[in-house]
Amino acid sequence: MTRFALTLEFDGTPFFGLQRQKDGPSVQQAVEEAAQRVLGKDVRLHSAGRTDTGVHALAMRSHIDIDKAIEPFRLMEALNAHLRPDPIAVTHCEAVPDDWHARFSCIGRAYVYRIANRRAPLTLDKDRLWQVPQDLDHGAMHRAAEALIGLHDFTTFRSVHCQSDSPVKTLDKLEVERDGDEVRIHAEARSFLHHQVRSMVGCLALVGMGRWREEQVAEALAARDRQALGLNAPPHGLYFVRAVYPEDA
Amino acid sequence: MTRFALTLEFDGTPFFGLQRQKDGPSVQQAVEEAAQRVLGKDVRLHSAGRTDTGVHALAMRSHIDIDKAIEPFRLMEALNAHLRPDPIAVTHCEAVPDDWHARFSCIGRAYVYRIANRRAPLTLDKDRLWQVPQDLDHGAMHRAAEALIGLHDFTTFRSVHCQSDSPVKTLDKLEVERDGDEVRIHAEARSFLHHQVRSMVGCLALVGMGRWREEQVAEALAARDRQALGLNAPPHGLYFVRAVYPEDA
């Protein structure tokens, strides 16, 4: 048995998220079916993170176990051939030790959330960014974000469907930058609660629009109450960008 | 009568080019029909450049004449509302003097051509870049491009359908840069021949792949013969990025 680490890039638009779902197509199902066609037997995909319907990935890390001799490059090419026309690509593939686990060995996750801050409808970037027509004060958003950094009870920013044992997490980074009419929010942590990034982005956007004072983000956090959430940002602006492992350090 | 200059952004994928065509949808037809619905009468759109099927625009400049009092901002909003769901957006609108002409006043055009230099299929960038799996030597491409800069007879790089009076044009800029696995070619001139950018990019790509020596680009130019063209790059990597007018200087 050889364990192969895969790096996956995907357009989340047509999928009901990364994980297998009873009610619709998932990235996991597509990759497992491609692997089944390549290898002639069932394969289980394990991944660093979960993503919701419509959320994208630039470099999700996953693994599969295979009891057949195959070169990583050939495996990657075969998976990509069988994944067509689904918008999923294996961009890297390598053999890893048996005790390396895409999810359990992962010590850091990074996301970026992209906002198109303009009035005109999106064309080339449709389904790739959240469009916010009101002028966003990204400086105020960046300052408000600082209140969320560190060890906190993130109950306010947690979906009712979250399966995490605890709402207490350490947020390592939450930064807001502007590049022309695009506002980007960068978030990093060891792990995130379900909907946490989108919920934090939604509240920061309210600050950017001037509908919330900067301090209201800290107040929402302190409330530890989902009802204190101002807004959950839509999924299509969110990208999983990086999974970090001990060997990367 | 008031002349309005429009800046258009569009995804060229579903259109048979910018110009009205007998056999399929065009950007011009879509904008003219939106204007007809806004204004209740026929309107003619004039544009700085022509683009082929599948070619995109980040900032095409166009104009329309309207004999009705309307604020530029309101016109832009109304056009965008009526353009939905077509992937065309008016990103800027302003009243201009009657003698300003989107095509005839234009003294410079800029394009960028985007190549995804990777083996893995494209997902998020499908229909946005030309995928070239072989490693491209962008330094060799950049050096080979220098032979095309300046005043030349570009017959080799001209479509048989080109309507220009002369194949002699001055190419002001042709630069190749790499950003990770993306290779971008920037082209600027007062005007271009039909298919000129795609034809130049195709030959530069052959150099990048090592299938052409750098000098073959100069040789193809000197041949002044369409048969000497190595490759016409596909349309979906090409973007019209900027039109320049005397008042911009």
ipTM above 0.85, yes or no: yes
Q: What is the mean pLDDT of residues A19-35?
A: 95
- pLDDT band at A6, cuts 50/70/90? very high
Tell me how far apart the alpha carbons of residues A14 and A35 are, in angstroms, rounded to a whole number.
20
The reply, when asked if residue A239 is annotated as ligand binding, is no
Q: Cβ contacts of residue A186 below 8 Å, gap of 6+?
A: A110, A111, A112, A173, A174, A175, A176, A177
Nearest to A237 by CA among A167, A193, A187: A187
Burial class of residue A23, CB neighbours in 10 A (0-12, 13-18, 19+): exposed
Nearest to A141 by CA among A177, A98, A96, A92: A177
A93: closest chain B residue by CA: B120
- pLDDT band at A161, cuts 50/70/90? confident
Mean pLDDT, all residues of chain A: 96
Please identify, in words, the CATH class of the domain defined by B2-96: alpha beta
**Per-residue pLDDT tens over the stretch B231-248:** 999 999 999 999 999 998
Q: Is the pLDDT of residue A249 over 80?
A: no
Q: Is the pLDDT of residue B249 over 80?
A: no
Whether residue B123 and residue A77 make contact (CB cut-off 8 A), yes or no, is: no
Mutate to test the interface with A, among B123, B127, B131 (most CBs of A within 10 A): B123
**Per-residue pLDDT tens over the stretch A177-208:** 999 999 999 999 999 999 999 999 999 999 99
DSSP string of chain B, one letter each residue: -EEEEEEEEE--TTSS-SS--SSS--HHHHHHHHHHHHHSS----EES----TT-EEEEEEEEEEE-S---HHHHHHHHHHHHTTSSEEEEEEEEE-TT--TTTT--EEEEEEEEE--SSPPSTTTTTSEE--SPP-HHHHHHHHGGGSEEEE-GGGS-TT---S-SEEEEEEEEEEEETTEEEEEEEES---TTHHHHHHHHHHHHHHTSS-THHHHHHHHHT-GGG------GGGEEEEEEE-GGG-
pLDDT at A23: 87
- pLDDT band at B74, cuts 50/70/90? very high
CA B66, chain centre distance (Å):
26
Burial class of residue B239, CB neighbours in 10 A (0-12, 13-18, 19+): buried
A108-248: CATH topology is: Alpha-Beta Plaits (3.30.70)
Q: How far is B15 from chain A (nearest CA, A)?
A: 13
Burial class of residue B218, CB neighbours in 10 A (0-12, 13-18, 19+): middle
Sort strands A238-244 and A56-66 into parallel, antiparallel or unpaired: parallel
Q: Cβ contacts of residue A228 below 8 Å, gap of 6+?
A: A156, A219, A220
Taking CB atoms and an 8 Å cutoff, what residues of chain B touch A87?
A: 123-124, 126
Mutate to test the interface with B, among A13, A124, A126, A128 (most CBs of B within 10 A): A124
Whether residue A120 and residue B88 make contact (CB cut-off 8 A), yes or no, is: no
Mutate to test the interface with B, among A123, A129, A240 (most CBs of B within 10 A): A123
Mean pLDDT, all residues of chain B: 96
Give the CA diameter of chain B: 59
Whether residue A11 and residue B126 make contact (CB cut-off 8 A), yes or no, is: yes
pLDDT at B70: 94
pLDDT at B79: 98
Of A56, A89, A126, the CB nearest to B121: A89
Tell me how far apart the alpha carbons of residues A21 and B151 are, in angstroms, rounded to a whole number.
60
Catalytic residue among B23, B52, B99, B225: B52
**Per-residue pLDDT tens over the stretch B95-149:** 999 999 999 999 999 999 999 999 999 999 999 999 999 999 999 999 999 999 9
Q: At B197, list the tokens.
A: 């950018």
Taking CB atoms and an 8 Å cutoff, what residues of chain B touch A31?
A: none
Taking CB atoms and an 8 Å cutoff, what residues of chain A touch B84?
A: 121
- pLDDT band at A163, cuts 50/70/90? confident
Catalytic residue among A11, A52, A86, A125: A52
Rounded to 10 deg, the angle between the B215-223 and B138-145 helix axes is 40
Q: Does this chain's domain A2-96 share its CATH topology with A108-248?
A: yes
Taking CB atoms and an 8 Å cutoff, what residues of chain B touch A80?
A: 119-121
Taking CB atoms and an 8 Å cutoff, what residues of chain B touch A240?
A: none
pLDDT at A22: 87
Q: How far is A180 from chain B (nearest CA, A)?
A: 13
pLDDT at B23: 87
pLDDT at A62: 98
Q: Which helix (H) or strand (E) holds A78?
A: helix A72-83
In the DSSP assignment, the letter for residue A223 is H
B52 among known catalytic residues: yes
Q: What is the mean pLDDT of residues A164-185?
A: 96
Whether residue B124 and residue A124 make contact (CB cut-off 8 A), yes or no, is: no
- Give me the residue spans of the domains in chain A: 2-96, 108-248
